[in-house]
Homo-oligomer: A and B are copies of this chain.
Amino acid sequence: MTTLRNQRVTIIGGGMGGLASALVLRRLGADVTLFEHAPAFGEVGAGIQLGPNATRILREWGLLDEVIARGFRPENLVLKDAITGQVLTRQSLGDDFVERYGAPYVVIHRSDLHAILLEAAEREQVELVVDSHVERIDDVGPEAVVTLAGGAQHRSDAVLAADGLASLTRDSIVGDAPVASGYVAYRGTLPETGGHGADVVAWLGPHCHFVQYPIRRGEMLNMVAVFRSPAFLRGEEEWGGVEELDAAYTECSAEVQEAVRHLWRDRRWPMYDREPTENWGAGRVSLIGDAAHPMLQYLAQGACQAFEDADALDVFAARTPGDWPATFEALAAVRRPRTARVQRTARVWGDIWHVDGVARVLRNELLHQRDLTDYRYLDWLYGRSRDDDFGAQASGSETASREQEAAR
């Protein structure tokens, strides 16, 4: 592809979003340099869930077969009450689901997914540079100048900041701060000995939840426990320690309490997001992925939305090749409302997962009554097609989305 021949793009950050963006731009012919802060590429964490809105894109990129081969296709998403163990609702991920959304639901180890993207970027000859600390970015008109720690300067036609939740680039563009949710995640993996089955199961408890699903072709069991930190509520600096983990699930069923014992205890993930922002950058510089729209993980959409960003970038970079301000403006115009909705809905969905008292009664009743073939809560997230989003008039898709909501 020669669409972006002689265009130089700098990408800051070698996570899922940075690698995916590098891949699509490189395939359009751009020369892509990716600076990663860490001394080596890699992902910390355990499993990650990929909805069909993400796997559809991975298939376009030619990566889905490998993702499935190294991951796992669960049979159902199951929500249970963490106290009683009662199944609240179940979403089959079988043929009807795949047909409706045009792609499968896949879960995979984060390291495996990251490796697949990294290998693809390497195959495409993205220039990958580790241990690179970007100190500033200057849009100087005809080009953008990235200054690295130590003083080296890197010139290019466009800069994408994919530096995640704690994005330094966002600090200078938006100047906002991450918002602590007061919830903390503990993760872990176990060899799968056959007890769990083939489902993604989430146990919903008061101010806590626990999720379990198989990864690595079903040979490994992924676990994540998320709970509200009492120390955070008390306003303490240090919060979410293992003593809080041990106390967080005492109200839950024996099954959940037993499972929580197997989590890694030496590492935790306090959970943050940010308020949606209208400002993704200007001119030749744009935020992308988590840097643009960090979200709580309750919809499992962090990487998925970064892939949607890269997919939109693919379209708009080809539509106005070399006119980066136009490309980034079109990208943000389409992606801002969508990702803001995912950010906001993830917060509400988390609230719904963690309710107690009468709200729990209502939540359980609502889920329990749900028709198992009712897709109303999924369509907006999984069902959007590239054609809908990237029509010649970006505003058209917004209208459609609003009409869809009004029709509910």
- What is the chain B residue whose CB lies nearest that of A357? B351
Are A362 and B352 interface neighbours, CB within 8 A?
yes
Are A355 and B359 interface neighbours, CB within 8 A?
yes
Cβ distance A79 to chain B, nearest Cβ, rounded Å: 14
Cβ distance A93 to chain B, nearest Cβ, rounded Å: 23
State the oligomeric state as a number of copies: 2
With A and B bound together, what is the CA distance between A362 and B361 in angstroms? Answer: 10
Cβ distance A255 to chain B, nearest Cβ, rounded Å: 22
With A and B bound together, what is the CA distance between A366 and B351 in angstroms? Answer: 16
Which residues of the other chain, B, contact A366 by a CB distance below 8 angstroms? Answer: 362, 365-366, 369
Cβ distance A280 to chain B, nearest Cβ, rounded Å: 29
Q: Which of A361-401 contact B (CB under 8 A)?
A: 361-363, 365-366, 369
With A and B bound together, what is the CA distance between A359 and B355 in angstroms? Answer: 8
- Of B348, B357, B369, which one neighbours A361 at CB under 8 angstroms? B348
- What is the chain B residue whose CB lies nearest that of A408? B368
- What is the chain B residue whose CB lies nearest that of A356? B359
User: A407 an interface residue at 8 Å Cβ cutoff?
Assistant: no
User: A40 an interface residue at 8 Å Cβ cutoff?
Assistant: no
If A366-B366, A366-B369, A369-B366 touch, whether A355 touches B352 (CB-CB below 8 Å) is no
With A and B bound together, what is the CA distance between A352 and B362 in angstroms? Answer: 8
Which residues of the other chain, B, contact A351 by a CB distance below 8 angstroms? Answer: 357-358
- Of B348, B362, B369, which one neighbours A355 at CB under 8 angstroms? B362
- The 8 A CB mask of A316-352 against B (1 = contact, 0 = none) is 0000000000000000000000000000000010011
- Of B355, B361, B365, B369, which one neighbours A358 at CB under 8 angstroms? B355
Cβ distance A111 to chain B, nearest Cβ, rounded Å: 34
Cβ distance A373 to chain B, nearest Cβ, rounded Å: 14
Cβ distance A109 to chain B, nearest Cβ, rounded Å: 32
With A and B bound together, what is the CA distance between A351 and B356 in angstroms? Answer: 12
With A and B bound together, what is the CA distance between A363 and B358 in angstroms? Answer: 10
Which residues of the other chain, B, contact A365 by a CB distance below 8 angstroms? Answer: 366
- What is the chain B residue whose CB lies nearest that of A366? B366
With A and B bound together, what is the CA distance between A127 and B267 in angstroms? Answer: 79
- What is the chain B residue whose CB lies nearest that of A351? B358
Instruction: Kindly list the 8 A-B residue pairs having the minimum CB-CB distance in the complex, ordered from nearest.
Output: A359-B359, A351-B358, A362-B362, A366-B366, A362-B363, A362-B366, A352-B358, A365-B366
Sample 15 A-B pairs with CB under 8 A, ordered by A number.
Answer: A348-B358, A348-B361, A351-B358, A352-B362, A355-B358, A355-B359, A355-B362, A358-B359, A359-B359, A359-B362, A362-B366, A365-B366, A366-B366, A366-B369, A369-B369
Q: Given A355-B359, A358-B359, A366-B366, output 17 extra A-B contacts at Cβ < 8 Å.
A: A348-B358, A348-B361, A351-B357, A351-B358, A352-B358, A352-B361, A352-B362, A355-B358, A355-B362, A359-B359, A359-B362, A362-B362, A362-B363, A362-B366, A365-B366, A366-B369, A369-B369
Spell out A's residues near B (CB within 8 Å). Answer: 348, 351-352, 355, 357-359, 361-363, 365-366, 369
